[in-house]
Amino acid sequence: MQYDYLVLGSGIAGLTFALNAAPHGSVAILTKKQRSESNTNYAQGGIAAAIGPDDSWELHMEDTLRAGAGLCEPEAVRILTQNGPRLIQWLVDLGAEFDRNPDGTLALGMEGGHSRHRIVHAADHTGWEIERTLLRAVRNTPNITLLEHYQVLELLMEGDTCVGAQVLDTLTGDLFEIRAHAVLLATGGCGQVYLHTSNPPIATGDGIAMGWRVGAVIANMEFIQFHPTTLYHPEAQSFLISEAVRGEGGILKRRDGYRFMPDYDPRAELAPRDIVARAIDAELKKTGDPYVYLDITHLDPEFIKRRFPTIYHRCLEYGIDITREPIPVVPAAHYVCGGVWTDVWGRTTVRRLYACGEVAYTGVHGANRLASNSLLEALVFAERAAQHATTRLDEEPPQPHYPCAPHEPFAPNHTTPRAEPFDWASARTQIRATMQAKVGIVRTVERLLQAERELYALARQIEAAYLAEPPSVDSCEVRNLVTCALLIIRSALLRKESRGLHTVMDYPEPDEAFAHCPTLLKRDEKGGLYPAPTQAGSG
Point out the catalytic residue in the list 116, 246, 273, 447. Answer: 273
DSSP code per residue over 379-393: HHHHHHHHHHHHH-T
CB 240 within 8 A of CB 208: no
Distance CA 427, CA 82 (A): 44
Alpha-carbon distances, residue 379 vs 15, 42, 389, 449, 459 (angstroms): 9, 16, 15, 37, 35
The span from the first CA to the last CA of the chain, in angstroms, equals: 46
**How are beta strands 119-120 and 47-48 bridged, if at all?**
antiparallel
- Nearest Cα neighbor of 348 from 292, 308, 302, 397 is 397
- Nearest Cα neighbor of 166 from 6, 334, 396 is 6
* 254 among known catalytic residues: no
CA atoms within 13 A on the CB side of 418: 14
State residue 64 phi and psi, 5-degree precision.
-65, -45
- Nearest Cα neighbor of 200 from 98, 128, 308 is 128
Task: Give the rounded distance of the alpha carbon of 275 from its chain centre.
Answer: 19
In three-state secondary structure terms, 440 is coil
**How are beta strands 2-8 and 224-231 bridged, if at all?**
unpaired
Active site residues: 273
